Structure 1
């Protein structure tokens, strides 16, 4: 091989190795930051495919705050509460200021780390808003393009539905 071809081959190999290393590092970083979504029942019993989260795994959990289970530490921002769906309960421990929409009986999504089989140490808690809520811009657009909700309900009642 002449020196010119050796130099080209070296450059092509260096570029290929550089791109491979970059892609490998990106995939590794993405796998470390992937949070799987679970419900309380899936955490306790496992998902349909048999997979169950392991202690120390980062995850997201969604469910309803069980009424009467919110416990606040008077000396700090530490809060614990139970979360459930249709099955078993899971305890969420969170240190921080809860969202304004957080209340008992409300749906929430928490992101955190599984500490044991039924306890999650959350670092973020998001409260779901009421399903009937509609931003003002959307409500205004709906008024322009659709008939009012009251009219459509009266129409249904009048037609016997």
Structure 2
């Protein structure tokens, strides 16, 4: 028996290609990143503050950028996979609003633009109280996937 064709996240139309599944990289594992959700519409992950602090005891801004870029890029690759493509980051910017000393942060990427050549995602990093710690914007170039 044949498996049903994949559909988009809303279940609307059959997709030609199977959605890419997130695989953590070495840095993601060292940072303690955990994936909670993965779809074209939304990627959500968590990361502990502990182990990702700078010398003053605050969540490191570089850790926020690294995890935000990873989650935003994963979201772009999931979208790209619907077209048999992959994605590479071409621009990322971030604004740090506040920091954290402990607990866990949640990283959520949602699309601003899902094109056939470029994607742009907003990535929010929030603390356990739901307060915004950092806002990132990442643009990815969609390319032919090389095997």
Q: Would you call these one fold, judging by a TM-score over 0.5?
A: no
Return the TM-score normalized by structure 2.
Answer: 0.29
Structure in which a larger fraction of residues adopt strand: 2
Give the alignment's TM-score, normalised by structure 1.
0.27
Task: Please identify the structure whose Cα radius of gyration is greater.
Answer: 1
Q: Which has the higher helix share?
A: 1
